[in-house]
Structure 1
Amino acid sequence: MSLRYYLTFIDEEPQASPDAFGSRKRGASCPADFRSKEEVRSMWTEACREQALFRSQVAQLRERADHVRDNSQECNTLTAPSLGSVGHPQLCRRPCAHFAKNAGCPRAKHCAFCHLPHRHVSLDKRMREQLASCSEAELLWTLRPHFQRHALANPAAVGFQELLDRNLALHHPQPALPRPSQSWQLLEKRLVRLPLAALVGLCFRVSGHLPGLLQEQLRDFRTGDQ
């Protein structure tokens, strides 16, 4: 008999009762795992891959839902709560500072800024530098698919696409666009989320008549002169 000190007590050392395999019997609630390490590693890798795929699908569905929700909330000159809210959320002006502070706007419906909620979407520093490094032709051809997407979803955006296409046909033959690197793909995803008014603003650094024509088109839409 051997003694042991266990949990402040001195008691007899328990004797192991070997089973037919010469080891302690495994509890019924913990069955043996006969899979190899390679099989376990493969199952874990596959589970991680499926989880990443599901997360990507959820993110895409969320973006589509936001796009549908935004288009369903578009305001015209009759339903807009302020002059700056016309065309919300794609063609309105920037948010009113009074509403950003949860305070009432003293100008009410005559305010030149938007009185409706906005999703904050903007380009970060690296994305702005990427666009700044593009030539005028590269910039406009990069933005063209996004103008087309807005034109398909909103008839009010067709005029902006027509102005851009006319300018490209006259002055900017299609160049060889940069290869789709990871940073460029991130830029494209952010451009998808930008409202049409922000895309129009990116065209203002181009020389020629295009910036003025786009600005006039935007002003006519907001004032209801179309």
Structure 2
Amino acid sequence: VWPKCSHFTRQEQGHMAQLCYENTFITVKDAIGSEARARSSPVRTLRRSSPEAFYVASLQRAMGLTPPIPVPTHEPAAVREAEAEAPPASEDVAAASEAEAEKEVAVTSGSLGHPELCFKPCLFMTKGGCPKGGECKFCHLPHQPAKLNSRMRETLNGLCQAEILALVLPYLRAKNVTGADRLLAEMESRLAALPRAGCAVPPSRISQLNRALRRLSFRQLILLSGTRAPAELERLQGLAAGRG
């Protein structure tokens, strides 16, 4: 007599199966479970970064904490070496400007002693060139705009000769012009012989005048002081040009 149901187990291709005898019939019941896994390891896929990691990485790139990606250069080595050995363009321009300045000083008598002892700038040089060339009595070199406006000239006209000399002499001394000691000594002697009177100009206007006098050249200060010494100024120009 067959039992109503008997159970036997067997393993088939990685599955657990059951043989069940029921009423002279044999049936196979597969075990419930997952399919068989492959024996080899699966291909590893790139792990997706979390939103937090992506946010931190973007902040690091924005703050410059990650090294920049080098940009490949395709220039030949000879070109790079030539660029490294070539002097900067600014040096070439500066050297050319100095050479041009020396040329102008050598051919223009009005440029001798630039910028302290030269004459007024030539107006023709601002228009492309001077037709007189070396015979021009004015300076052909660049000048910084430094002059007294009408208000400052009005203040200067309100001062006496002693007050003007007292204002101008310290700035003349500060110029340190070669060979000017004799001229400055004569001006100081003349100042000592002049009577001193009280200054009627407000101190605020004197302060403004001092700031303007600091920017003037040696020749301009001499002319403002009322000193007539053309021969002495010419001698100082010769010393500045190395002819004294």
TM range (shorter): 0.5 to 0.7
Quick check: 1:77–1:86 contact (8 Å CA) kept in 2?
Answer: no
Query: What is the TM-score when the length of structure 1 is the normalising length?
Result: 0.54
**Helix, strand or coil for the counterpart of 1:168?**
helix
Greater percentage in helix: 1
Q: Which residue of 1 aligns with 2:140?
A: 115
Q: Does 1:161 align with 2:184?
A: yes
CA contact 2:159–2:199 (8 Å) conserved in 1: no
Gaps of 5+ in 2: 1-100
> What pairs with 1:1-226 in structure 2 (closer than 5 Å)?
79-101=105-127, 103-150=128-175, 153-169=176-192, 171-173=193-195, 175-176=197-198, 181-204=203-226, 211-212=227-228, 214-222=229-237, 226=244
Quick check: 2:147–2:212 contact (8 Å CA) kept in 1? yes
CA displacement at 1:175 relative to structure 2 = 5.0
> Matched residue of 1:193: which SS?
coil
Cα distance change of structure 1 residues 173 and 145 upon mapping to structure 2, 3 Å threshold: farther
| Matches of 2:232 and 2:105, distance apart in 1 | 21
Q: Which runs of 5+ in 1 are unaligned?
A: 1-74, 205-210
Bigger fraction of residues in strand: 2
- Cα distance between partner residues in 2 of 1:144 and 1:78: 31
Query: Secondary structure at 1:84's aligned position in 2?
Result: helix
Give 3-state SS (helix, strand or coil) of 2:172's partner. helix
CA RMSD of aligned residues (A): 2.9
Q: 1:76 to 1:174 in 2, by over 3 A?
A: farther
| Post-superposition offset of 1:176 | 4.9
Alpha-carbon distance in 1 for matches of 2:236, 2:103:
9
Determine the C-alpha separation between the residues in 2 that align with 1:221 and 1:76: 18
State the secondary structure of the residue aligned to 1:100.
helix
Distance 1:77 1:219 in 2: 20
Identity of aligned residues (%): 30
1:108 to 1:78, Cα distance in 2 relative to 1, 3 A: closer
Shift in Å at residue 142 of structure 1?
Answer: 1.5
- Residues 144 and 90 of structure 1, relative CA distance in 2, 3 Å threshold: same
- What SS does the aligned partner of 1:91 have? coil
Q: Measure, in 2, the Cα distance between the counterparts of 1:138 and 1:127.
A: 15
Q: How many residues align?
A: 142
Contact 1:77 1:83 in 2 (8 A): no
Q: Residue 202 of structure 1: CA displacement?
A: 0.8
Cα deviation for residue 173 of structure 1 reads: 5.0
Q: Distance in 1 between matches of 2:230 and 2:126?
A: 26
